[in-house]
Structure 1
Amino acid sequence: GTGASPASSIKNAGNTWELGLIETNALLIWNNIRDRVRIRVDGGLLNGWDVVKAAVLGANEYGFGSSAMIAIGCIMARQCHMNTCPVGIASQREDLRKKFPGYPERIERYFIAVAEEVRQILASLGAKSIEQIIGRMDLIKPKGVKVPKTSKEININYLKSLYARIGSEGENPFIVELPEEDGLPDKIDEKIRKLSTSISHEPKSKNDRPESPEEDLNSKILNDCLPLIESGKKIKLKYKIINIHRSVGATLSGVIAKNWGDGVSLKKGIDINSVVIDFEGFAGQSFGAFLVRGVKFNLYGLANDYVGKALSGGHINIIPHKDGLMAVGNVAIYGGTGGYLFVRGRAGQRFAVRNSGVFSVVEGVGDHALEYMTNGVCVILGSVGKNLGAGMTGGIAFVLKEENIRKLVNQDFVIIKDIDEDIEHIIAEMLLKAHAKETGSKIAQDILKESIENNLYVIVPKEFQRYKTAFIEESIRRLKSDFDYLEYHL
C-alpha cells in the first residue's frame, strides 16, 4: 500500500486483483445488488489493455497509482517514508522539492494515450463504449501459453465457470465441485453471455432509498442558513443530531465555498463565526467534514470517526456531557488544511493523520497519531498510543510528560524535548487558553494554573527544526487574528 514497500512484497504479497474482481462481481450478482454498487479496481494497471481486461471482469472504475507517479517524474527510489525523495515528490524538504521535474501535461498525455488504446481495443471488439463490455467474461480467450515446468496450457475455464455458477445458479464454488461438463468453453461462454444481458452492471444511483426529512440534516441546515448568509446576518442555530446524520456541514461548506469562497483561495470567504451551530446528541461519521472558514460547530455529545475530515478553515468544538470519555472516533481531522478542533475528551487511533494545517487540542489519542503530518499544531493532554509522529515532516505538537512517552514516540522522524524557548511556551499557552475557553476543559485550566513547562514536551520533526521559529510566529499571528480573547506580542 505504499511506494516504500520492498519490490518483493509489491510483486509477490497478496493475491491478484483479477481473481478478487471475478468473485466480487459474481457475488454481487448472486445477492441481487450489483446495480447498487460500483466496483473500482487498482493494482498495477498500466495501459489500455489493463483497463479493458478489468472492465471485462466486471469493474466500473479503474485506479492508476505507480504508473501515474512515474509519468509525473517518480523514479521509484522507495524512500517515500524517509522524507528523502530524490525528485521531491514525497518530501517536505525545500532543497529536494526544487528538483521536482514534473508538470501536469505529462499526466495528461499519459492518460490520453491510455484512453486511445482503450478505444482501439473496444473498436476491435465491436463495442461502442466500455459499458458494453463490463462483465463480459465470454470475450476472454486463452493465448495457449504453457505453464512453466509443465506441458499444460493455462486454462481459464475454471474461472469462467466459477463466475457463471455463482452469478446464475447461486452455488458456492468453495463447497460444490464443478462437474466435468461445465468445463466446455462454448457452454460456459453462452452462460456468461446470458448472464451479462440479464443484469445491469451500471448502478442506478448512489442509493435508491431517498433520505427522509429526519435523515437529511444537511439540506435542513442549508435551507435555514442560506437566506441569512445572503443577507449578511450572523447566524446562530441549534439542532438535534444522531448517528445516521453523516458528513454534516459538507453541503453547507460547498455552497459557501462556491458562492463566497473558502477564505484560502482568491475569494475572501465569510467572516469568522458568521455561522455558529450547536448540536446535541451523537454525530455520525465525518461530522464537520470539509468545514470552511467562518462556520463554527459546537457538538454537545459524542462523534463517530472522521470528525473534521479535510477540515478547510472551519471550527469544531466537541463537548461531552461527562469528562474522560472517548469523545471522537478514529482518524479525526484527516487531511485537514486549516481550522480548529477542540475536544474535551479522547480521540481514537490515527488522530491528525496527514494534518496539513489544523490547530487542535485533544485530551488523549490512540495509536499512530500525527502520522504523515505536514503542518498545523496539535496539543495532546492525555495518554497516547504507540508510533506517534511516524512520517511527520512539518508542524509541531505538544504531549503530556508521562513516564513511557519517549517509547511511544517514533523518534526516527521527530525529536521530543522540553519547552525551552519563549515562543514555544506562547503558542502552547494560547492553545490551552482557547481550549479552556471553548470547551471548559479542567485539564487545560489545571496546566495553565500550574506550569506548562512542567507538564508538556514539544515534538518537532527533525527536518523542520530550521523552520520552527518562523512557523510558530506565523501561527501566533493566526491565533490572535481568529480569537479576539487571545493577546500576545512577539
Structure 2
Amino acid sequence: GVAKAGTQVILISGHDGGTGAAPQSSIHHAGLPWELGVIETHHALVENNLRDRVYVETDGKLMTGRDVAIAALLGAEEFGFATAPLVTMGCRMMRVCNLDTCPFGIATQNKELRKRFKGKPEYIVHFMEFIAQELREIMASLGFRTLDEMVGHSECLQIREEDEENLHIARLKEMIKKPVYLSSGEKTFFDFKLDERLDMVDVYPAFKPFMLSNPIPHQERLKISSLDRAFGTEFGSMVTRKYQNTLEEDTFTLHLEGVGGQSFGAFLPKGVTFDLVGDANDYFGKGLSGGKLIVSVDPSSPFEADQNVIIGNVALYGATEGKALIQGKAGERFCVRNSGATAVVEGCGDHALEYMTGGTVLILGRTGKNVAAGMSGGIAYIYDVEHDLYERLNDELVDMENVSHKQDVETIYSLLKEHYEATHSKKAKELLSHFDEALPHFKKIIPRDYKKIKNEIKSLIDQGFDQDEAELKAFRSIHA
C-alpha cells in the first residue's frame, strides 16, 4: 500500500532494538524478528511488481557485518545501526533514558551530567569500518562484488539444524527456499512532484512579498484536501530559514477550509498560524515548533463538535513549542512526547499525554484509557465531570489533584477564553459562562518529580538564585 502511494523507503524494524527505557513487558514480549519482516516484504513487493520503486531498510540490533549480509540476502538494501554505535560512544544500558539521569552524559539535558560524556565521532567511524570490512569478506566468499547484487539471494543462507524446531525459524526456512531478486538493480522512484505542492504553488508565492527584513503581517485563504499531506512543512522551513524563531505570533496567517492531510502543520514555526475549518488526519501538528494551529467545525455542521473526532491519532507528537486549539475530539495518543506546546482539545482517545515531558494541555471532555503513561514533565488539566478519571489514569509517575491554586485557575480560564475566541466552541462558551460551577470538575495531572523540582526551583529563586542556578541546584537536590 505505501509503495503504491509513492514512498521511497520501507523500514522493517525488528523487536530487538528500541529505547532502553521501554517497559520490560515490551522489551521481552513485543515484536517479531526483522528477518521475517524483510523477506516477507521483499517477496510481496516483487510479486506485485513494486520492488524497483522502493528501498527496503531494516534495523533492530544489527551488530556485525554478518547481520548486514543476512539482511541483504533476505531482501534489504539499507541498514540502520543505533544500539551498537551508542555503546561505542559510552552507553552502558542503564535504562534511565527517560529520567534525565544518564550517568554517562548521553540521554540527558543536565549540564553537569553531560560533562561526563567521553564519546568521539571517530569511535563510530572505526566501528562502521569494521562492519564494512567483515561484510566485504563475506561478500567475497559468496562471489558478490557489490551489495546490490546480493539483494534477495536467500539461497545463500542455511538454517542451523539446532534452530529448526523454532516456529519463527521454520517459517523462515520455507521462505528462503524461494529466492527472488531483481535482475536490473535499478530504481525508478515515484516522483513526488514537490514543486507542484500547495506550499510551493499557492502558499509561498502569496506570502513572499510580505517576507521582508521587517516582515509585514499578512493573511490568505485557501482550500485543502486530505491529499495535501504534510501541508505547511515546506513553507514553514522557508520561514525558519529566513527568521529563525524571531517572528511575532500570527505574523503570517492562513485561513483554510477542507481536510488537512496527514502531518498537517508538521514542524510549523513561530509566527505562522493555520486556522482550519474542517478536520485533519493523523500526526496533526507533529513536531510543532512555535506555530499556532486552530481547527474548528463549520458553523453550519449539524453535529456537536465536542462529541465527534475532528483530528486523527498521534496529534502533536514530539511538539516542542506553540499552540493548538481544537474544537472537537482527538484520536489516540494525543500529545505523545510533547515537550513544550500548549494544547486545548475537547476529548481524546487512549494513551493521551504518553511520555510527555513539558508543555500544558487542557482536555475539556472524556479521555480513553492509560492517560499520562510515562509522563515525566508538563501539566495537564482534564474536565472530569463524572469523576472517574482515576480509572483511566496511569499513575505510575503522576499525581491527580483538585484545582485549587490561583495560578492553575487562571491558566484554565485563560486557555478556555483563548479557545473560545479562536474556535467559537460551544463547550468553551458553556464552561466560561458557568466557570465557578465547572471548576470543581477539573483535575490537575502533574508528574511527582516534576512537581518536586518546580517547587524547589521556585524556592531557590525566592532565595535570590537566578533561573539557571536554581534549576541546576534543584536537579542535584532531587536526584541526590
Distance 1:11 1:341, change over 3 A: closer
- Distance in structure 1 (CA, Å) of the matches to 2:419 and 2:293: 11
Q: 1:222 maps to what in 2?
A: 204
- Distance in structure 2 (CA, Å) of the matches to 1:162 and 1:9: 33
- Distance in structure 1 (CA, Å) of the matches to 2:312 and 2:51: 31
Residue range with higher mean Cα deviation, 431-440 or 103-112? 103-112
Distance 1:229 1:126, change over 3 A: farther
- Distance in structure 2 (CA, Å) of the matches to 1:431 and 1:405: 21
- Distance in structure 1 (CA, Å) of the matches to 2:26 and 2:383: 38
- Trace 1:78-227 onto structure 2 (pairs within 5 A): 78=95, 87=104, 97=113, 101=117, 103-105=119-121, 106-119=123-136, 121-122=138-139, 129-138=146-155, 140=156, 142=158, 146-147=161-162, 158-163=174-179, 167=180, 195-197=181-183, 199-200=184-185, 203-205=187-189, 207-208=190-191, 210=193, 216-220=197-201, 221-227=203-209
| CA deviation after TM superposition for structure 1 residue 65, in Å | 3.5
- Distance in structure 2 (CA, Å) of the matches to 1:466 and 1:10: 30
Q: 1:328 maps to what in 2?
A: 311
Residue range with higher mean Cα deviation, 365-374 or 80-89? 80-89
Q: Does 1:435 align with 2:419?
A: yes
Q: Does 1:30 align with 2:7?
A: no
Q: Secondary structure at the match of 1:395?
A: strand
Task: Output the amino acid matched with 1:447.
Answer: L
Q: Conserved in 2, the CA contact under 8 Å of 1:87 and 1:96? A: no
Task: Output the amino acid matched with 1:276.
Answer: T
| CA deviation after TM superposition for structure 1 residue 435, in Å | 1.3
Distance 1:445 1:160, change over 3 A: closer
- Distance in structure 2 (CA, Å) of the matches to 1:96 and 1:410: 31
Unaligned runs of 5+ in 1: 168-194, 475-490
Identity of aligned residues (%): 36
| CA deviation after TM superposition for structure 1 residue 16, in Å | 2.9
Q: 2:267 maps to what in 1?
A: 290
Q: 2:12 maps to what in 1?
A: none
Residue range with higher mean Cα deviation, 38-47 or 63-72? 63-72
- Distance in structure 2 (CA, Å) of the matches to 1:44 and 1:275: 45
Task: Output the amino acid matched with 2:374.
Answer: G
- Trace 1:46-57 onto structure 2 (pairs within 5 A): 46-57=63-74
CA RMSD of aligned residues (A): 3.3
Distance 1:244 1:212, change over 3 A: farther
| CA deviation after TM superposition for structure 1 residue 9, in Å | 7.1
Residue range with higher mean Cα deviation, 118-127 or 377-386? 118-127
Distance 1:252 1:209, change over 3 A: closer
Q: Conserved in 2, the CA contact under 8 Å of 1:84 and 1:96? A: no
Q: 1:173 maps to what in 2?
A: none
Q: Conserved in 1, the CA contact under 8 Å of 2:357 and 2:376? A: yes
Based on CA coordinates, which of the two structures has the bigger radius of gyration? 1
- Distance in structure 1 (CA, Å) of the matches to 2:178 and 2:326: 51
Could you tell me which of 234, 250, 253 is aligned with 1:273?
A: 250
| CA deviation after TM superposition for structure 1 residue 160, in Å | 3.7
- Distance in structure 2 (CA, Å) of the matches to 1:371 and 1:437: 28
> Residue by residue, what CA displacement relative to the aligned partner does 1:180-232 show, whole Å, maximum 9, x if unpaired?
xxxxxxxxxxxxxxx532x43x5322x2474795xx22222123223331373
Could you tell me which of 448, 452, 455 is aligned with 2:441?
A: 455
- Equivalences, count: 425
| CA deviation after TM superposition for structure 1 residue 416, in Å | 0.7
> Residue by residue, what CA displacement relative to the aligned partner does 1:366-393 show, whole Å, maximum 9, x if unpaired?
1100000011110101111111111001
Unaligned runs of 5+ in 2: 1-17, 462-480
> Residue by residue, what CA displacement relative to the aligned partner does 1:226-257 show, whole Å, maximum 9, x if unpaired?
33313733221111111111100001011222
| CA deviation after TM superposition for structure 1 residue 44, in Å | 2.2
Q: Conserved in 2, the CA contact under 8 Å of 1:82 and 1:391? A: no
TM-score, normalised via structure 2 length? 0.78
Distance 1:442 1:10, change over 3 A: closer
Q: Conserved in 1, the CA contact under 8 Å of 2:106 and 2:117? A: no
| CA deviation after TM superposition for structure 1 residue 89, in Å | 5.3
- Distance in structure 1 (CA, Å) of the matches to 2:356 and 2:26: 26
TM-score, normalised via structure 1 length? 0.77
Q: Conserved in 1, the CA contact under 8 Å of 2:366 and 2:384? A: no
Q: Conserved in 2, the CA contact under 8 Å of 1:235 and 1:276? A: yes
Q: 1:192 maps to what in 2?
A: none
Q: Conserved in 2, the CA contact under 8 Å of 1:218 and 1:252? A: yes
Could you tell me which of 451, 454, 462 is aligned with 1:468?
A: 454
> Residue by residue, what CA displacement relative to the aligned partner does 1:410-440 show, whole Å, maximum 9, x if unpaired?
1111011012222222322222222122112
